[in-house]
Amino acid sequence: MSLSSTAEAIKHYKVTFNWKTGFESWSKVPTTMNYHMLAPNLGLEATGADEIRDIIFGFCTENELEQELVDIIEHGQYVTCMLNLKTKSGDSIQCVEVFLLDEEGRVDKIWAL
């Protein structure tokens, strides 16, 4: 089954993720103006590109986060990524990110669980 252009952009971002250029790469994915991200297990929440850059990608940079995309699934307005994460201290985390797309196919909400 083929992915939408937004899901393909998310997949490309995940496959090529590098903490040094994370936000620059992420900014190629179409988003709404005030898209929102919540990562409750990490205590992170941000709204809009500036907060996402500072808070979310600040965390990625501080922890030199590595991501491995295990799988990506698109179901209606939802894109779900299964990920293996690793920090500079060697901690490994298995997580799921769920992206809610708006009617124009832009990312509006992200949950990192």
Structural domain containing residue 104: 5-112
Number of domains observed in the structure of the chain: 1
CATH number of the domain that 57 lies in? Answer: 3.10.450.50
- Confidence (pLDDT) at 15: 96
- Confidence (pLDDT) at 112: 98
Closest C-alpha to 91, from 41, 55, 50, 56: 41
Residue type for position 95:
C
CB proximity list for 33: less than 8 A, separation 6 or greater = 48
pTM of the complete model: 0.95
Closest C-alpha to 95, from 79, 80, 107: 80
Q: What angle do CA 26, 104, 38 make, to 5 degrees?
A: 45
> Average pLDDT per run of 10 along the chain, which is 113 residues long?
95 95 95 98 97 97 96 98 97 97 99 98
The residue with tokens 């500036």 is 50
- Confidence (pLDDT) at 38: 98
- Confidence (pLDDT) at 1: 74
Gap between the Cα atoms of 83 and 80, Å rounded: 10
Contact yes or no for 104/4 (Cβ under 8 A): no
Q: Where are any strands of DSSP class E within 3-61?
A: 31-39, 44-47
